[in-house]
Structure 1
Amino acid sequence: MKLSITVGVVLVPNALAAGVLRFGCSQITVERLDPLVTPGQAPSPHIHQVVGGNAFNTSITAHADVSSLASCTTCSFSEDLSNYWTANVYFRARNGSYKRVPQVPNRFLDGATAGMTVYYFPEDLRSKVTAFPPGFRMLVGESTLRSAEGHVPKNCFRCFTGPNFEGDNAAPCQDAKLDTPYFPKTPCPGGIRTNVHFPTCWDGVTLDPPDHKSHVAFSSRGACPKTHPVKIPQVMLEVVWDTAGFNDKALWPEDGSQPFVLSTGDSTGYGQHADYVFGWKGDALQRAMDTASGCQAATCPTLKTQSFDVANSCVIKKKINEDIEGCELLNSI
């Protein structure tokens, strides 16, 4: 697999393009916590898989500078103490049992422990963007969504056609044959990838409104609305689910329906969502975004990096004692 197809935006042959970050973050926890939507609630309504800094907790003080609360991170850029989280995926077998689908590190990120790949880039690769301020948080997607109505167009699942990420020959959410806003209907020989895109426009004032959404907006053909005039980096999360071990159709539901379900109880996939709590140190993210063509893959001349051996040593104590691997979890939803 060639590095040139890691993400479509990197392909733009423009030496003056602004910074593009692509880096891995190992899991720091998998449990039923959500300090953004249900702060203080333990357990929260559903399981999340979380990466990033060790400030993640049942709640995170509103408007707090997370970079001053965390002391380590599971991400390969050591100055990124942010937290990112999404719902988990489970396999629903014909006999009614559930099993958590394992994750694998994205290519070129050997050493990461499951987790996800994080991207930051200007939406059109030429525009200057303003990095998020301390205390900034946002949410994209809707966990209760079960149909195309209201779906975020840039959130999708890709069905890999073979091992080693075969079929990854187009930018995320842009291949009509492989990308769907819902779970793929047929077995995916190489697994399933989730891509979640956050909005790229900010009102310039609000750090985190009650709905965690109204302070940001998606652009229209690259232009931000007047209500949200500040261009912010495009944050994209990418998770690779190793579904190959569940491709035996004899294990699938008898009616032939696809067998995967989000930890919210959503078997459609439309309810995929993601949360973001900004926690970069100082002006590190702004420096990276201002670096022309120098911040691609897991290297950036303006940022400090760490090995996954170090990143994987960043841990937190679990707050919720429950089975996250199988039927106990899903039967409680």
Structure 2
Amino acid sequence: MILGSASLLAFNAHAGQSDVTCSYHHTLGDDSIMMTGKPNQAMLHDFFGNTHTDAFSTYDTLRAQPETTCNNKADSSAYWAPTMRLPDGEIVKPSYQKTYYQSTKDATNPLTPFPAGLALLAGDHHGSAPSNRITFLCGNGNGYSNKAGEVCGLRSKGDAVQFNVGIQFPDCWDGVHLMPGHGKPNAAYSSNGVCPADFPVKIPTVNLNLAWVLPQITSLDTAKIQFSMDPVMNGDQRTEQWGGVYTVHADFLNGWTEEGARFMTDLCMNNGMDCNHMVPWSYRTASEDTYVSSAEPDRNFGQSPDLFTRQNKTNGDQMMTLMKFPIPPVPAGLTEAQKASFKYQVRIYGTRVESGQDMIYFSPVASNSWHENNVTWNNRPAVAAGNKSGLYIGKTLEYRYVNVDNEVKKALAEGKTEISWYLGGDNYDKSYRFNSRETKENLVLMLTRYQEVKEN
């Protein structure tokens, strides 16, 4: 349970955002950002996301071993935070974290994708007072606050105490340094959505939300929580040190696929879209699209910003949308089981023109040799035999996702590198309109890989 994502912090989020949920994986005295190459010499950290994160981690190692506890397998990022100790001295492990990637004022200050290997820090491990970048939450409480001191009780179902910490990372990068240095930050916070001159590159805001679910206790005074500090080292022997609750902080090492990071900004946040977890491993936008009409059988509609679909059973008038995509390939070197975990979807933006809702269909096209600037009703390609995918669509103008996995994998098995579909009508004299690739809401063929992560 992560509560109040829109009100986690004093933060003016635009509609454009996405999210990822990652379970806890391991604890090490490692920190590949501030203590690179020095295993077991940093404070104890709890790690989420990439399962191989250690003192030597880089973008290249994260992508070379991309196994992750996150629900979106396109995200092999490493997330870590200091280990927590309860007031009675018990050291506890977090359950999971949910990160919201968000934007502010992107219409006037568009975002740039995370560069490969960007590392970010948030919080102050010497902190002794509230910060407007760090917030606390009891699962049965009154919402997020930047002041500790609330006593958490059992959740509404009476099974456990839950304590959350929200940590907001800087959203302006200096454009040069992927890694921060000691006393030399590589990122800063925007002011009213505008970046400072020394950190001019606007990036998505990483809002990390940590959750501890604690069935072994019935109450928790949040002011008495402690977090790990740098140990005292005597050779290889560690003596752990602990600081107050305001010392909590976090680290982020970007490990998203480059196409996933670009999709998040260019096709979600900069468009003001909430993509939730629907960020692909890779994607391709439509290479060609148009529609054909039986009422104007010799007319070409190749440059139309609108795509239309209609099937009129009364007089036989028909319009069908045509779309063509390069196929994003499944990564090489995988087992058959791993290959099967990747799925293909089409994202399309549109609406039913009339009121009500019905099913329309994606039917594969027999040949990819058609071209948007010369195809007409009279010379249109044939429909391929085999499966088709349905799209249930109503009057609301919005993005919609269609599962086309079977058709794409069949095309790949036949050695094809691109695929085309007709989007055909429902036989009920209704019309449908979609945005073409000439608009910012263009059509996208997405290669995705997801796995549910339990939020206790």
2:92 maps to 1:101: yes
- 1:224 aligns to what? 195
- 2:27 aligns to what? 30
Match among 100, 122, 139 for residue 103 of structure 2 = 122
Match among 110, 119, 137 for residue 158 of structure 1 = 137
1:109-258 equivalences in 2 (<5 Å): 114-124=95-105, 126=107, 127-148=109-130, 151=131, 153-161=132-140, 167-168=142-143, 178-182=144-148, 184-190=149-155, 191-211=162-182, 214-243=185-214, 245-247=216-218, 258=223
Tell me how far 1:234 sits from its aligned partner.
0.3
Q: For the pair shown, which has the larger CA radius of gyration, 1 or 2?
A: 2
- 1:80 aligns to what? 75
CA distance in 1: counterparts of 2:202 and 2:447, whole angstroms: 22
Query: SS in structure 2 opposite 1:235?
Result: strand
1:38-70 deviation line (CA, Å, top 9, x unaligned): 223231332111112244122125xx5345332
Alignment-mate amino acid for residue 123 of structure 2: G
Alignment-mate amino acid for residue 145 of structure 2: D
Match among 245, 256, 275 for residue 251 of structure 2 = 275
Alignment-mate amino acid for residue 204 of structure 2: P
Alignment-mate amino acid for residue 141 of structure 1: G
- 2:38 aligns to what? 41
Per the alignment, do residues 248 and 306 of structure 1 end up closer, same or farther by CA in structure 2, a change over 3 Å counting? closer
Tell me how far 1:216 sits from its aligned partner.
0.6
1:4-23 equivalences in 2 (<5 Å): 5-8=4-7, 17-18=15-16, 20-23=17-20
Match among 264, 267, 287 for residue 288 of structure 1 = 264
Tell me how far 1:140 sits from its aligned partner.
1.4
CA distance in 2: counterparts of 1:180 and 1:281, whole angstroms: 33
CA distance in 2: counterparts of 1:48 and 1:284, whole angstroms: 27
- 1:263 aligns to what? 228
CA distance in 2: counterparts of 1:28 and 1:211, whole angstroms: 27
Alignment-mate amino acid for residue 228 of structure 2: S
Tell me how far 1:236 sits from its aligned partner.
0.9
Tell me how far 1:134 sits from its aligned partner.
1.3
Q: Give unpaired runs (5+ residues) of structure 2.
A: 156-161, 230-240, 280-346, 348-445
Query: SS in structure 1 opposite 2:264?
Result: helix
- 1:107 aligns to what? none
Q: Note if contact 2:84-2:227 (Cα within 8 Å) is conserved in structure 1.
A: yes
1:298-317 equivalences in 2 (<5 Å): 298-300=277-279, 302=446, 304-308=448-452
Q: Note if contact 2:224-2:244 (Cα within 8 Å) is conserved in structure 1.
A: no
Tell me how far 1:77 sits from its aligned partner.
1.3
1:161-198 deviation line (CA, Å, top 9, x unaligned): 35xxxx44xxxxxxxxx51344x253444422100000
CA distance in 2: counterparts of 1:207 and 1:198, whole angstroms: 15
Q: Tell me the TM-score normalised to structure 2 length.
A: 0.52
Which structure ranks higher in relative contact order (CA pairs < 8 Å, sequence separation ≥ 6)? Answer: 1
- 1:326 aligns to what? none
Per the alignment, do residues 35 and 230 of structure 1 end up closer, same or farther by CA in structure 2, a change over 3 Å counting? same
Quick one: percent identity of the two aligned structures?
23
Query: SS in structure 2 opposite 1:288?
Result: helix
CA distance in 2: counterparts of 1:241 and 1:71, whole angstroms: 25
Alignment-mate amino acid for residue 133 of structure 2: K
Q: Note if contact 2:172-2:199 (Cα within 8 Å) is conserved in structure 1.
A: yes
Q: Note if contact 2:223-2:245 (Cα within 8 Å) is conserved in structure 1.
A: no
Query: SS in structure 2 opposite 1:134?
Result: coil
CA distance in 1: counterparts of 2:31 and 2:3, whole angstroms: 35
Query: SS in structure 2 opposite 1:263?
Result: strand
Q: Note if contact 1:49-1:115 (Cα within 8 Å) is conserved in structure 2.
A: no
Q: Note if contact 1:139-1:213 (Cα within 8 Å) is conserved in structure 2.
A: no
Alignment-mate amino acid for residue 124 of structure 1: K
Q: Give unpaired runs (5+ residues) of structure 1.
A: 104-113, 169-177, 312-333
Alignment-mate amino acid for residue 299 of structure 1: M
Q: Note if contact 1:157-1:180 (Cα within 8 Å) is conserved in structure 2.
A: yes
Per the alignment, do residues 193 and 200 of structure 1 end up closer, same or farther by CA in structure 2, a change over 3 Å counting? same
CA distance in 2: counterparts of 1:36 and 1:65, whole angstroms: 14
Per the alignment, do residues 35 and 77 of structure 1 end up closer, same or farther by CA in structure 2, a change over 3 Å counting? same
Tell me how far 1:243 sits from its aligned partner.
4.5
1:96-120 deviation line (CA, Å, top 9, x unaligned): xx212353xxxxxxxxxx2211111
- 1:90 aligns to what? 85
Q: Note if contact 1:79-1:284 (Cα within 8 Å) is conserved in structure 2.
A: yes
1:246-276 deviation line (CA, Å, top 9, x unaligned): 3458xx8xxxx94321122445311111111
Tell me how far 1:160 sits from its aligned partner.
3.1
Per the alignment, do residues 102 and 208 of structure 1 end up closer, same or farther by CA in structure 2, a change over 3 Å counting? closer
CA distance in 2: counterparts of 1:245 and 1:125, whole angstroms: 44
Greater share of strand: 2
CA distance in 2: counterparts of 1:229 and 1:13, whole angstroms: 19
